[in-house]
Amino acid sequence: MADPVSPAASPTVESAAGLSTDSSHDSTAGQFARSDEGSAIARFFRATEIDTRMLGILGALILIWIVFHIFSDGRFLTPRNLWNLSVQTASVAIMSTGMVLVIVTRHIDLSVGSMLGFIAMVMGVTQAQFLPDMIGQGNAFIWVIALAVGICVGAVLGGIHGYVIAYLGVPAFIVTVGGLLVWRGAAWWVTSGQTVAPMDPTFRLMGGGPYGSIGATWSWVIAVIACVAIALSVVLQRRNRKRFDFPLRPLWAEGTIVGVGCVLVLGVVAVFNSYPWPKGIVRRHVAENNIVLAEGETLFIAHGIAIPVLIAVAIGLLMTFIATRTRFGRYVFAMGGNPEAAELAGINTRWVTMKIFILMGMLCGVAAAISTARLNASTNAQGTLDELLVIAAAVIGGTSLGGGIGTIAGAMIGAVVMQSLQSGMVLLGVDAPFQNIIVGVVLVVAVYLDSLYRRRQG
C-alpha cells in the first residue's frame, strides 16, 4: 500500500492499455490478456473468460450422448429422442434453478417432489371440478387460473418452510424432510387417492406433444431472436467496459463467443424442427383443415420447440437474471459465502432465506403444471423422489454443497445430464433397478471429480 493520496500508477492508465506488462503486478491467471503466457488453450480460455467448469459438464454431456448413441445402434441422437429428452428434462430443470439458490445459502430442500405432488393434485381438482363449475367447461382462462393457483399454493408451501427455517431456526434438512412427508400425505388427502383426469385442453399444451409445440416457423423466429440477443449482450457488455476503461476481451474472442452461441441455438432448433408429427396426427390435421394432398403425398409438420422447453428456458433466463443482476441474488450468494459478513453488512438474512424457499415453492408449482399437463392427469404419486434428481442436477451443474458457489445454467445442464442417463438406459433396455445403481454411481463420481477440480483450482 502506498500513501493514500498518491495519484501514481492509477489503474485507469494501466487497464486502458488492455495488456499489462508490469511484472510486479498483483495479477495472476484469472486476469486478462497476458497473451504471452501459458499454452494456447489456457490463453483461449483466459481471453474468452469462459467458465472451464461449465465446459467440463458440457463435455461430459456430449460424451454420454455419444456413448449411448453408439451402444443403442444410432437411436439416441435422433431428432425424436432428443426432442423427447428435452420435454422430459423440463420439469426437473425448472426446479433445479430454485434448488441452486437453496444450496448456495447452505440449506437443502428435500420436499420438492412432495410439493409438486400436492400442488398437482390441487391444480387438477381446480381444473376438473371447481373452475368448470364456476366459469364453465372449456373456458379460455381455465389454464391461466389453474396455473396461477398452482404457483400461489407453491408460494404458500415454500413460505411455510421458509418461515420455520429462517424465523424459528429449525434446520432446513429437518423442515423439508417434514415437508416431504406432510405434502405427500396431503396430496393423497386431496382426493382420497383418486387420480384426477382429464385436464383442460389448453392446459395440456404445457405438457408438450404435437399440439404443445410451436412448430417450425416460430421455432426459427425464436432462434433468430436468441442469436440477436446473444450478439447484443456481447456488444453491450463491451461498450460498458469501454465506458469505464476496463480491460476488454480481444475481438476474436467476442466473435467466437457470438459465433458458437448462435451455432448452438440454431443447431438445437434445427434438431427440433426435424422431428415430424406422427402420421396419425398429421392425417387428422389434414382432415380437420381440409388440406388437399396429392396421391401418396405426406405432409411434414415439424414439432419445433416444445412449450414446456420454452417455459424451462424462460425460467432459466429469469432465474439467471435474478441471481446475477438483482440485489436479492447478490445477497443470496453473499449469505452463502459468509453468513456473518452478510449480517454485519445489514442484510436482512431471514427475509432473504424466506424468499428463497417461497421461490422454490413457486417453481415447484410451474413444474407441477408441466408434469400434470404431460400426464393429462393428476396423481398423488407425481414427483416422487424428484428432489433427488433436482439436487443431483444442481450439484452436477457445479453448485457446491458447502455453499456460496453455483450457477443456474450449470444446474439446467445437470438436469439434462441426469435425464440423458435415464433416457439412454431406457433406450438400451436396462432394468429399472440397475438404472438406479448407475445414476447413483454417476452422481457420486461427478461430485468427487468436482471436488478434485476445485482443489486444483485452489
Partner 1 sequence: MTTPTDGRVPADAEKVVEMSDISISFGGIHAVDHASLDLHLGEVVALLGHNGAGKSTFIKILSGAYKRDTGTIRVRGAEEKIDNPRDAKALGIETIYQTLALADNVDTAANLYLGRELRTAWGTLDDVAMEARAREVMGRLNPRFQRFKEPVKALSGGQRQSVAIARAILFNAQILIMDEPTAALGPQETAQVGELIKQLKQDGISIFLISHDIEDVFELADRVAVMKNGQMVGHAPVTAVSKDDVLGMIILGKCPHGATPGPGAVTVNTSNVVEAQP
Residues making contact with partner 1 (CB under 8 A): 1-6, 8-12, 14-15, 20, 22, 24-28, 30-32, 240-241, 243-244, 246, 325-327, 330, 333-334, 336-338, 340-347, 404-405, 458
**φ, ψ (nearest 5 deg) of residue 37:** -105, 140
Nearer to partner 1, 5 or 41 (CB): 5
Nearer to partner 1, 243 or 456 (CB): 243
Q: Measured from the CB of residue 397, what is the shortest distance to partner 1 in angstroms?
A: 16
Give yes or no for a contact between 278 and 89, defined as CB atoms under 8 angstroms apart: no
Q: Measured from the CB of residue 1, what is the shortest distance to partner 1 in angstroms?
A: 4
Nearer to partner 1, 29 or 445 (CB): 29
Q: Helices H, strands E: what count in the chain? A: 19, 0
Tell me the longest C-alpha to C-alpha distance in the chain. 89
- For residue 196, the 8-state DSSP code is B
> How many CB atoms lie under 10 A from the CB of residue 34?
17
Of 227, 195, 138, residue with least CA distance to 381: 195
Nearer to partner 1, 26 or 73 (CB): 26
Tell how far CA 53 is from the center of its chain: 17
Give yes or no for a contact between 147 and 369, defined as CB atoms under 8 angstroms apart: yes
Q: Measured from the CB of residue 240, what is the shortest distance to partner 1 in angstroms?
A: 5
Nearer to partner 1, 200 or 254 (CB): 254
Q: Measured from the CB of residue 104, what is the shortest distance to partner 1 in angstroms?
A: 9
Q: Measured from the CB of residue 358, what is the shortest distance to partner 1 in angstroms?
A: 19
**φ, ψ (nearest 5 deg) of residue 271:** -65, -45
In our burial notation (b when 16+ CB lie closer than 10 A, e otherwise), range 276-304 reads bbeeeebeeeeeeeeeeeeeeeeeebbbb
Residue with cell 368448470: 132
Nearer to partner 1, 169 or 433 (CB): 169
Q: Measured from the CB of residue 14, what is the shortest distance to partner 1 in angstroms?
A: 7
d(CA 221, CA 305): 11
One-letter amino acid at 286 equals: V
Q: Measured from the CB of residue 42, what is the shortest distance to partner 1 in angstroms?
A: 16
Give yes or no for a contact between 378 and 307, defined as CB atoms under 8 angstroms apart: no
> How many CB atoms lie under 10 A from the CB of residue 136?
11
Nearer to partner 1, 33 or 119 (CB): 33
Nearer to partner 1, 280 or 327 (CB): 327
Q: Measured from the CB of residue 25, what is the shortest distance to partner 1 in angstroms?
A: 6
The DSSP-derived string for 345-399 is TT--HHHHHHHHHHHHHHHHHHHHHHHHHHHTSB-TTTTTTHHHHHHHHHHHTT-
Q: Measured from the CB of residue 261, what is the shortest distance to partner 1 in angstroms?
A: 21
Nearer to partner 1, 130 or 328 (CB): 328
Of 311, 366, 356, residue with least CA distance to 119: 366
1 membership: H or E segment, kind and range? none
Q: Measured from the CB of residue 337, what is the shortest distance to partner 1 in angstroms?
A: 4
289 membership: H or E segment, kind and range? none
Q: Measured from the CB of residue 165, what is the shortest distance to partner 1 in angstroms?
A: 21
Q: Residue 150 contacts by C-beta under 8 Å, 6 or more apart in sequence?
A: 119, 120, 122, 123, 365, 366, 368, 369
Nearer to partner 1, 40 or 344 (CB): 344
Nearer to partner 1, 40 or 244 (CB): 244
Nearer to partner 1, 22 or 37 (CB): 22
Of 436, 376, 442, 381, residue with least CA distance to 127: 376
Q: Measured from the CB of residue 113, what is the shortest distance to partner 1 in angstroms?
A: 29
